[in-house]
Amino acid sequence: MTETNDEIKPNNTEINESDINDTLKTNKTEPDDKINQDNLEVNDILFPYEKIRDEQSLLIKDIISALKEKKNLIANAPTGLGKTAAALSPVLKFALDNNLTVFFLTSRQTQHKIAIETLKNIKRIHGVKFEAADIIGKKWMCAVPNISALYSNEFVEYCKNMRETNKCAHYTKTREKDLKLTVEAKKTIEDLRLEIRDSEDIVNFSSEFNLCPYEISLELAKKAKVIIGDYFYVFNPYISELFFKKANIEIEKTIIVVDEAHNLPERIRELATSRLTNFMVSRAVKEAKKYGFNETLANLNLIQNLINELSNKINVTDGVTNGVKNNITVGANSFNNSSKGFSSSNRMYNPETKITKEEFVNLINIEKDYEQLIEDFEVIAETVREKQKRSFIGSIAAFLEAWKGEDEGFTRLLKLENTKEGLLTTLSYTCLDTSIITGQIIDNAYSTILMSGTLTPTFMYRDLLGMKRCIEKEYKSPFPEKNKLSLIVPLTTTKYEQRSTAQYENIGKISADLVNKIKGNVFVFFSSYKIRDSIYLSFMNECKKTIFLEDSKMSKEQKLEMLERFKKYKKSGAVLLGVTSGSFGEGIDMPGDLLNGVIIVGLPLGVPDLETRELIAYFDKKYKKGWDYGYLFPAFQKTLQNAGRCIRSETDRGVIVFLDERYIWPMYKRCFPADYKTIIAKDYGRIIENFFEEKI
């Protein structure tokens, strides 16, 4: 969860007009001379609807152009443009004509279903013959009960062990010992190929016959012209290598379409990051004791003692590590604890420091050969998994293996943190540069198309993902401008050095006043639960609407149930107080009059910890844009995602409020898309009233 404890600023905070223009520079959608602009026919591209809208037509033509020229496209396409149909239609037509395979990648289950319905409509309307496969994470397709509690790496090892020892009844009923399909599996696959089905249908259908849903999906993928899946089926090197090999797919013959692509860099960064904590070691110790692995117990104690020894490097006298406390020089900018760096010089940080690969490996080698230790842990972990699904010893082995990875594009950190469970010590091998992973994959693919309503600035995503042969385009919103009122209310701030009881009280009162003036339902997003809770009493005393509170401990089902209750207040009005990076900040559709306003309180700038500073330093060295790429733009992208919850269709009307004085500062205001119209308003009440009376 983002916690805006402090704020990092470039040493030189003066921003001139040319800098702003360079940042705002966009490749606006203009007609492509190579494509006839007047003769784009529905039948030519297998479009599933009767009419292609103007801005949708521009996106389609840019996709066709990218495919013909074997280039990549970054499409910043606003909500409501019809991106799914606009992408799948021409891409499928091109794939059919050129014997290519399409990957439509999305992390949202709802988007899986939209893509499936789009493909069904194409097949029904145009009578074209093709197959499609919808495949989600292997763990989520598994028919074994109570498997969802395992971490992904734990599930991979558990599944592998169960298959190799022939203990998985679902797998053995799907494949013979020579890996060929069983008669029952073949029949099930034939039945499933009669129509395009989503992953939920495939899981239910396969489970009914005690077959492995993943293996069935894998077979469906072999003949599929379109594969709908999560990002990792293409961008996780380990998973993609196995998947492509089993499905007989060559990356050079694939067109990759990434939906909600603004999430891709962070998803891949997290995917490539490995962590080891003292809590993991503690659980592994219990595991070793449980099964009497005394030698393993000694090795685990060695690991814990070495982590403790490394922790002694950290200067904890003031809660600031030497790496953070001292100046970090990054290109032309210097970040420090002065007013030109941190916005507060007395903020207490979680103690942390950098660790080199050799430091940790050499300390282990003094007592035990590093490679032998990994092997010993892996052998014991296999034995444990024969008796239980999860092995923490196996997780430690996986971390030790990952720790051997490359230095370039990564950093190694040790961090201490106080938690309810006690002191948490985390040793991490942290990915900084996603392009190391994504760049080669995108370059090898026939063409890659990135789509999202918040791919701004497009050049950042080009750099972060290492895209070459790249076309960058931004498209206009299809919604009437008069339906959206965007206000900047510069009457408060959550800037750390200005936080106080009086400031929180003021934020609460103004937030409540805004909520009261906006008719119907309203979302209010805060940069952290801490800030939300600090203003709550003041807000509650002034708010006239029913209040809903997002809770980080809620299950997915509980959150959906709360959202349904919230929707029922559309006439009398309710307010949901959530956080920027929470479950309601993106991926939630509230069309019509279900939501009439969104208020974003503060700026969700990340914690200026050592990882953030390493990120800034790395991007500054590589792109000369460290502060923008590593700190500011990602935070602003979250605010735009929050704002996008409000207007979801051509007839929706709503108010979006950015409540913080920093939104009018040049360094932050430049982050709004060029065509994003905002009104700076201290006297906001009259403006909101006029908007709902349709006087604006």
Beta strands, E only, 410-497: 410-419, 422-431, 447-452, 470-474, 484-489
pLDDT-based confidence at 441, cuts 50/70/90?
very high
- Give the CATH fold of the 274-314+351-431 domain: Fumarase C; Chain B, domain 1 (1.10.275)
pLDDT of residue 589: 78
Instruction: Give per-residue pLDDT as tens, 407-432.
Output: 999 999 999 998 888 899 999 999 99
The dihedral region occupied by 99, where left means phi > 0, alpha psi between -120 and 50, and beta the remainder, is left
The DSSP H or E segment spanning 256 is strand 254-258
Q: Answer whether residue 53 shows pLDDT above 70.
A: yes
- At CA 64, angle to CA 445 and CA 219, rounded to 5? 45
User: In which element (H, E) is residue 104 found?
Assistant: strand 101-105
Token pair 């900018």 is found at 333
Going by pLDDT thresholds of 50, 70 and 90, the confidence category of residue 571 is very high
Q: What pLDDT, on a 0 to 100 scale, did the predictor assign at position 620? A: 97
CA dihedral 26, 46, 446, 438 (to 10 degrees): 60
Residues 6+ apart with CB under 8 A from 246: 218
Are residues 90 and 57 in contact, defined by beta-carbon separation less than 8 angstroms?
A: no
Is the confidence at residue 327, as pLDDT, over 70?
Answer: no
Higher-confidence position of 583 and 623: 623
Q: At a CB cut-off of 8 Å and minimum separation 6, what does 300 contact?
A: 281, 284, 285, 288, 393, 396
**Separation between Cα atoms, residue 138 and residue 155, nearest integer Å:** 9
User: Order of strands, edge to edge, in the sheet holding 410-419?
Assistant: 274-277, 422-431, 410-419, 352-354
457 prior amide bond cis, ω within 30: yes
Place 555 in a pLDDT band, splitting at 50, 70 and 90.
Answer: confident
What pLDDT is attached to residue 606? Answer: 87
In a 10 Å sphere around its CB, with 0-12 CB exposed, 13-18 middle and 19+ buried, how is residue 476 labelled? middle
Give the Cα separation of 241 and 253 in Å (integer): 14
Buried b (16+ CB within 10 A) or exposed e, 536-553: bebbeeebebeebebeee
For residues 130-155, average pLDDT: 90
Q: What integer pLDDT is reported at residue 9 of this predicted model?
A: 56
Give the highest mean pLDDT range of 107-116, 294-303, 386-395: 294-303
Question: Hey, is 153 helix, strand or coil?
Answer: helix
Inter-axis angle of helices 392-403 and 357-367, nearest 10: 120
The whole-number pLDDT of residue 313 equals 79
Q: What is the pLDDT of residues 88-105, one digit of tens each?
A: 999 999 999 999 999 999
Q: What does pTM read for this prediction?
A: 0.87
Maximum average pLDDT range among 46-55, 143-152, 225-234, 313-322? 225-234
Sole residue written with tokens 């494509």:
35
Distance CA 107, CA 450 (A): 13
The mean predicted confidence, pLDDT, of the chain is: 88
Q: Is the pLDDT of residue 21 over 50?
A: no
Q: How far is CA 114 from the centre of its chain?
A: 19
At 620-676, the pLDDT tens digits run 999 999 999 999 999 999 999 999 888 878 888 999 999 999 999 999 999 998 888
- Residue 669, Cα to own-chain centre: how many angstroms? 24
Topology of the domain covering 481-692:
Rossmann fold (3.40.50)
Domain boundaries, the chain: 137-221, 274-314+351-431, 481-692
Buried-exposed string 4-38: b where 16+ CB fall within 10 A, e elsewhere: bbbbbbbbeeebeeeeeeebeebeebeebeeeeee
Q: What is residue 348's predicted lDDT score, i.e. its pLDDT?
A: 52
Contact between 434 and 265 (Cβ < 8 Å) = yes
